[in-house]
Structure 1
Amino acid sequence: MKIEETLQLAAETAGVGTWHLTLPENELRSSPRCREIFGLSADAAFRYEDFLSAVHPDDRALVEAMVEHALDPKGTGLYELDYRVLYPDGTVRWVGGKGKAFFEEQNGQRVATRFIGTVLDRTERRKIQDALIEAEKLAVTGRLAASIAHEIRNPVDAVMSLLYLIRSESSETKRSEYIEQAEGELSRVAEIATNTLRFYQDPAGLTTFDLADLADTVLNLFRGRISTSRVKVQAELPRGVFVSAPQGELRQVVANLVGNALDAMPTGGRLILRIRKFVNSRTGKQCVRLTVADTGIGMSPEVLARVFEAFYTTKGAAGNGLGLWLSLEILKRCGSSMQVRSAVGRGTVFELSLEGAEPKIRS
């Protein structure tokens, strides 16, 4: 048996489909398992156009962009992506694809001539991931509820004290001062409630919004904890920087990063939130970088290497190891990314790269 046949048999046994795209003709050859993963019979015709048609309409643009990126002669030629496919009977399945483009010199230019790869049915894995994501969202809700209860308790306690003073105060001037202070504390409660509702009332899917507003909302939710933890906030949040993202989920990501930063500074420190515009050198698109940094305890290289792994935590019983994993999954799903660097005793920096957007004009 030839080596190629042995490898093909091993792939088929493992449930992996293989494909080979010849360029520039776009001539596609695929294994029987590959065609089955796309909902076709093992001996069905399967052209490159059939592949694109089988991709779920909501994922097609992303798949085409990733293929284009892999075939870019200036890039690495690597391709990796999870996406949905739509079977002829309407069934939706998840597919994990990996590939590599090969280039040759033609007329002094580097040109892609072959593109090979594998596909694997990841539907069950995605179901498990989705279940974990929903579980973590519930856990985040619980943690936020505890934080919000703490935030509300302080102004409510202040109002109760002020009401007691008002009842026992004979000076009209003092009573007016106490009433004004009580109104300020109640306004704080109303602000907390408004910011909390924003977490759960944002429209689903991608929306265009001012990133500074989102960052301010998160900081407001943590205001009480920040003030009692000897943490100074350095916020560089220019207005008018718009992004396209799932707003509620991105707010959850930022809240998770801010919460982790505060955990890393038990004796105080500096929390930095910064928004900057930049141009993606590969695509030429306008992008936005949101930085969340702290001057806390930092992470060792061993911890840093596993920081995005599901269920990996250094917080013991206080953590479940899903927060950063979920944050990265949320960003991946909207075509964004996150990088991290850290040093023990110096702190940690998370950088979110998001797609910039023009504000939508309301008629």
Structure 2
Amino acid sequence: MKIATRLKLIGLFSAIVVAIVGAVLFSTTQQVRQELNKNQAADEVLNAVTALRYLSLEYGLRSEQRIFAQWRLRSASLGVLLDSGTTFSGPGDDANIASLRATFASVGKLFSLQVATRALPEDPATIELASRLTGQISSKTQAMISDAMGLSERSRQGVLAAQQREISAVMAFGAIVLFMILASTMLTFRSLVRPLERLREGTQTVGAGDLDFKLDWHSRDELGELASAFDGMTEKLKQSTVSRIELSGANMALQSEIVERELAEKKVHAQLERLNLLQQITRSVGERQDMRSIFQVVIRSLEDQLPVDFCCICLYEQGQAALQVSCVGLRSAALAQDFAMSEHAHIPIDQNGLSRCVRGKLVYEPDIGDVHFPFPRRLAAGGLRSLVMAPLLVESTVFGVLVTARFSPNSFSSGECEFLRQLSEHVALAANQTQLYGALQLAYEEMRQSQKSAVQQERLRALGQMASGIAHDINNAISPVALYTESLLETEAGLSTNARSCLEIIKRAIDDVAATVARMREFYRQRESQVQLVQVDANRLMQHVADLTRARWSDMPQQRGIVIQMRYELEPDLPPLMGIESEIREALTNLVFNAVDAMPEGGTLTLRTRSLGPVSGAPPQVHVEVGDSGVGMDEDTRRRCLEPFFTTKGERGTGLGLAMVYGMIERHGARIEIDSAKGQGSTMRLAFDLPAAGAGAAPPARVAHKTAPLRILTVDDDPLVQKALRMVLESDGHTVVAADGGQAGIDLFHAAQLRGETFALVITDLGMPYVDGRRVASAIKAMSPATPVILLTGWGQRIATEDDLPADVNRVLSKPPKLLELREALAACVHDRENA
């Protein structure tokens, strides 16, 4: 019979046995479950009878309605248990159930009689009857308890018997399984193991060269067929085999070839690993743009994957006598400390390996223990024995050396040395490209900055041209206001305090407007050296700014139902700073306006001053701050907010406010600091350096006395300026003749000369139609060279700065004119004429 057929029959028999045993186990399990259910029902009957007896006795003592109701409920549940006849079906159970039912019915009748007796009037006969009924009920229920206990005992015996049957079935099943295992083992040993052992013995014998061996195993299964095939194979081998000596020689040759092939394969595998490592390092190096990270990648890769015990890269400058350690491997750091070769350390170049390496040669020292030069001896002192130094060479110039070493002597193969040479070439090329990339980035950044500066200068030039175009008209418009305001402040002694304060604010505002117009074209230029700096009280200046801007931060927001609270944090006894008060006031005004615009829903506007002592050699400073609790700025806005024409206000903004503030800061040699975050408000801080002791003394006050009454010709095409100028001069006692336009002025002066009437002085505007101020001055000097001419113009400061003073003009005054400057010019002209 075939082995496969035997195994199938065994499997079928095992399945049948398992099915039979499973059926037996299922039957015994069902019996155990049935006996357990019977035991549980018997326990419930016993508990119910016990509770009924207790309630009957308790009712006999107290006769309460609650006890009666509980007795009824317990009696009903007991009746249900006794009526279910399917649970108790064993031998003897029917008699117990019948006895329990009869006794239960009798107890029910006795309890009903007892309840009726309790309803009768109490007398000795009734009490005696109730006591007898209670005793009968107690004896009946005791009998029921005995019958219930009998039921419980029989059910427990049934459970034990069922469990015993189940255990017996399990033991029988185990015996059957054990028998089957033993039978299968014996069959397998007889059918498989013995033939296979015989076949193994034959294989060993034939393999040893004995081709006369026969298995002689005759069976009709697979092993018999295999034995027959084996015997046939030995017969064929006997006819075709070679001699044992030839076979041994061929085997030895084959073994030698295998060894050679294994060695070659190992070399190829090592070469592929090194090429792969070189590719990995090259790819990693190509992803980096700084030399130090390139060196770190190379050293870490060599330590982890080549591997080496010590590795570092040193930089070399042509003509130097030492190398500088640039990067040391993480695993080599401890050894580097012992060798005094930590980063930035210098290594003298000896006359052995290092000198050859910096000349572009790869240096390999198989055993540096026998080398007596300083650098190899330094490495040998730390236990290193084998050393390779590869030059970092670019365009025939060595700029560094790759140093690798191992603890074992002769541990670097020729392939590894070649790999280190190739790696050094790649590293050198990558480092050179990094340097070129850095130079390119620097050149690009310089070009971008140059382009940015050119664009910025073009913007500034455009702004200067626009400012020059409107300066004359603005100055003409505010000149009458300036003259009237100064005249009122000087001549009207009866002005109220409030009126005088308002006029002073108007005067400061006019001065600031005039200074703004004069600086619009040059707010990025350095301060001219001829501008006189004065001491400025920052606390008083803050009060002036608050008064000037009150309408913007108080009145106008309140009209929209918005409240902006002004808070002052002014340091007392603040030292004065040196500057131009009008420029600083104008800058602070712009900052206040920006702070108000940043609080569309209201908030807190803070004006703060404080002083700082010398810190780390820096001079003492005064900080002037304008803060708000508004919307704040993001990082991009904060970085660009000082650029000209950059604004976040849309069409409402010009982008010049903060740019002019920055121009004022540059002219004063101060700095601006911006603290801002989105949604957290902004603080603009102006930091002014305080002068050295004694350097900031205030200049003497300028006092210009009124000159003797003069006959003055004024020439201007603006009637308002004419009227204001005439009023101011006449208030000083002068006689004023006004001419409307340049030609009219020349004609009036000529006519006066013909009449023998002379003018002590001529004041003419510069920008007039047809005949401008230069032509008027030229004509006056042609008719009367000794007559002084004062040129009054909106470009006065520009003309004075650019040395564009006309030849026929004695003095230039800027619009709007100040009384002090006007009187000084009159006095200077009179003085020059008298001394001519």
Higher strand share: 1
Relative contact order higher in (CA < 8 Å, ≥ 6 apart): 1
Q: Which has the larger radius of gyration?
A: 2
TM-score, normalising length from structure 2? 0.22
Output the TM-score relative to the length of structure 1.
0.49
Which structure has more helix as a fraction of its residues? Answer: 2
